[in-house]
Structure 1
Amino acid sequence: MKLLILSDSHGWSDELKAVADKHRQEVDAIIHCGDSELPRDDRALEGMNIVRGNCDFGVDFPEDFIKTVGDFNVYVTHGHLYNVKMSYVSLTYRAEEVGAQLVCFGHSHVATSFQENGIVFVNPGSLRLPRNRKEQTYCLAYVRDDQIELTFLDRDGHEVTDLQRTYLR
């Protein structure tokens, strides 16, 4: 399974659509971790699985969801309800509660990934307003039988090599 993971595009429609269209044919699902600041019917969100962020002011998106593919569970949330700018503890508890193997979140605009208690967590960074680095980033996650490989890219599709990680499942 291959996932395109984006977050925090903050009103960008054309730029978001360009990234999604670049990968649409090669991925099994597109996940947006919130703060799109776009209405559900915006053409950029076509075919995306999306959650509501703290800057999304409608009721068009759920607070979170679980996407199950076979026996693999992906939990998606924006992260503001779990205070991810301060700590990941609440988010790790929630991931364990829902039986997630992969957690996708945003909110902090900081591209990162880590593994805790066998669960892989990924924040793709911000497509529009990155923090702690200059690159506007998103992530491709390759889920295989024995590993999860994360490839972070900048908005132009160039790999951001210092963020690349492979985690054993």
Structure 2
Amino acid sequence: MRVLILSDSHGNAKLLNEIVRRVKADQVIHCGDFCTDQADLPKVPMTVVRGNCDWERVPQEQVWERGGLRIFVTHGHKYQVKSTPLPMRYRTEEVGARIGCFGHSHFPFCEEVGGVLLINPGSISYPRGFPHATYAILEKTREKLKVTYYKTDGTAITERGYEGIWG
């Protein structure tokens, strides 16, 4: 299974659609601040949440589940993600998920915290504290999980990511 995770596109629907077309994922997760009309979002299986800059009426939190994955998705602005991963970890556990995806900080982050994998794909439009605009791809095989970060042109970023046994 292949899941495209992105966030903070801030109105750049053209780039968002281009990345989604190129990656061809089984599921797309957008962690908020898409800042465009919902009609301009890609027409693919997609979980989307509302960020602090969004006006469309989409949920602030969602749980997506398939193929042995249970992923909590939120923007992160209500969970202090710019200062600590702990509130995100606790909320992810609270909803019974082992993976939490969020945005808001525009900074790519992927770390296992107390048995919960937290993923911030960064921003595809306005990176902060990192030299490249980024997105992440989560790939799950029978017992392995891998998260790889990419620049918006599709070039892999080797200094970020995760690989481990998952089951």
Common fold, TM-score beyond 0.5?
yes
Residues 107-151 of structure 1 show CA distances to partners (whole Å, capped at 9, x for unaligned) of 000001000222111100000000111211000001233332011
The SS at the match of 2:145 is strand
How far is 1:2 from its partner? 1.2
Is 1:163 the counterpart of 2:150? The answer is no
Alignment of 1:1-169 (within 5 A): 1-24=1-24, 27-42=25-40, 44-47=41-44, 48-59=46-57, 61-169=58-166
- Indicate if the aligned counterparts of 2:31 and 2:101 stay in contact, CA closer than 8 A: yes
The percentage of counterpart residues that share the same residue type is 36
> How far apart in 2 are the matches of 1:19 and 1:76?
19
The SS at the match of 1:164 is strand
The SS at the match of 1:132 is coil
How far is 1:165 from its partner? 2.0
> How far apart in 2 are the matches of 1:79 and 1:45?
22
> How far apart in 2 are the matches of 1:75 and 1:163?
21
Residues 39-80 of structure 1 show CA distances to partners (whole Å, capped at 9, x for unaligned) of 1111x3322211000000232x11011111144211111001
> How far apart in 1 are the matches of 2:142 and 2:100?
17
- Indicate if the aligned counterparts of 1:137 and 1:155 stay in contact, CA closer than 8 A: yes
Runs of 4+ in structure 1 over 4 Å off: none
> How far apart in 2 are the matches of 1:137 and 1:164?
12
Structure 2: state its 5+ residue gaps: none
Letter in 2 for 1:64: E
Structure 1 window deviating more from structure 2 (63-72 vs 49-58): it is: 63-72
> How far apart in 2 are the matches of 1:46 and 1:126?
20
> How far apart in 2 are the matches of 1:40 and 1:52?
11
> How far apart in 1 are the matches of 2:161 and 2:120?
12
In the comparison of the two structures, how many residue pairs are matched?
165
How far is 1:88 from its partner? 1.4
> How far apart in 2 are the matches of 1:152 and 1:73?
20
The SS at the match of 2:154 is coil
> How far apart in 1 are the matches of 2:68 and 2:17?
30
How far is 1:86 from its partner? 1.7
